[in-house]
Amino acid sequence: MRVLGTALIAIGMLFGCPSMAADLAVTFDQTAAGAVPEGWKVGATNGGAEPARWVVEEIGGRKVFSLVEPERRLPGDLYNVAWMPGTKVKDVDATVSIRANKGSQDQGGGLIWRASDANNYYVARYNPLEGNFRLYHVKDGRRTQLATAENLPIGTGEWFTMRIVQRGDHIEGYINGQKVLDARDRTFAEAGAIGLWTKADATTSFDDLVVKDL
């Protein structure tokens, strides 16, 4: 497994070729606090002129990538995204550690994949305010729910692991190693980028992103 202290744009070389399978582990240990890691792009679905602020920060002795300041304008369909444009992966097994820090309208977050831009991607997210883990596609900025798992016990401030596996149109979602989502969808059939997601005013931290091209 290749481990990157920052998500260098060179990762595109790993996933740019559809016949090349590789494991990629991304940590943020080598990125200066207050900076956005190299190779990442920050934006928003249905956002305004000033996107939310994402930076690397230190929490509990570890460096993590966090959304620390939400966009001031908070429509209900505002989704904050940070993604790695250099990644191009279709069938994927992706895992990330997540901690929901705070938020009154929304909390938590998750993974995006097969992303072509900030308005088109698959997303899986966990929200501790609602206790649910849900799978969606976002097409042209409009979100459609594909599956949900309810009454999960993870609270604000707790680290947990989210894993997504997609082969063809079959998508599986896991929380802390337990499979709780299963769906099929053909909205996005091509390879795309991997990234992170929050909604509205949710401030969230992410670490230990592992991606396998299947």
Strand duo 92-102 + 159-167: pairing: antiparallel
Strand duo 120-127 + 178-184: pairing: unpaired
Structure tokens at 165: 């596996």
Cα separation, 9 vs 7, in Å, equals: 6
Number of H helices, E strands in the chain: 1, 16
Which pLDDT score, from 0 to 100, does residue 153 have? Answer: 95
CATH number, residue 57: 2.60.120.560
pTM attached to this predicted model: 0.90
Segments of the chain scoring below 70 in pLDDT: 1-22, 49, 74-75
Domain ranges, residue 166: 2-213
Distances (CA, A) of 99 to 104, 186, 190: 15, 30, 30
Q: Per-residue b/e over 103-133, b at no fewer than 16 CB within 10 Å?
A: beebbbbbbbbbbebbbbbbbbbbbbeeebb
Structure tokens at 41: 């792009």
Which pLDDT score, from 0 to 100, does residue 22 have? Answer: 57
Which pLDDT score, from 0 to 100, does residue 49 have? Answer: 67
Q: Quote the Cα angle for 102-108-112, to 5°.
A: 145
Q: How many structural domains compose the chain?
A: 1
Cα separation, 78 vs 45, in Å, equals: 6
Burial of 137 (0-12, 13-18, 19+ CB in 10 A): buried
Cα separation, 147 vs 138, in Å, equals: 13
Structure tokens at 150: 């309810």
Q: Quote the Cα angle for 131-133-138, to 5°.
A: 130
pLDDT digit string, tens, across residues 93-146: 999 999 999 999 999 999 999 999 999 999 999 999 999 999 999 999 999 999
Which pLDDT score, from 0 to 100, does residue 48 have? Answer: 75
DSSP assignment string, 1-52: -EEESS--GGGHHHHSSTT---EEEE--TTSPTTSPPTT-EEEEET--SSPP
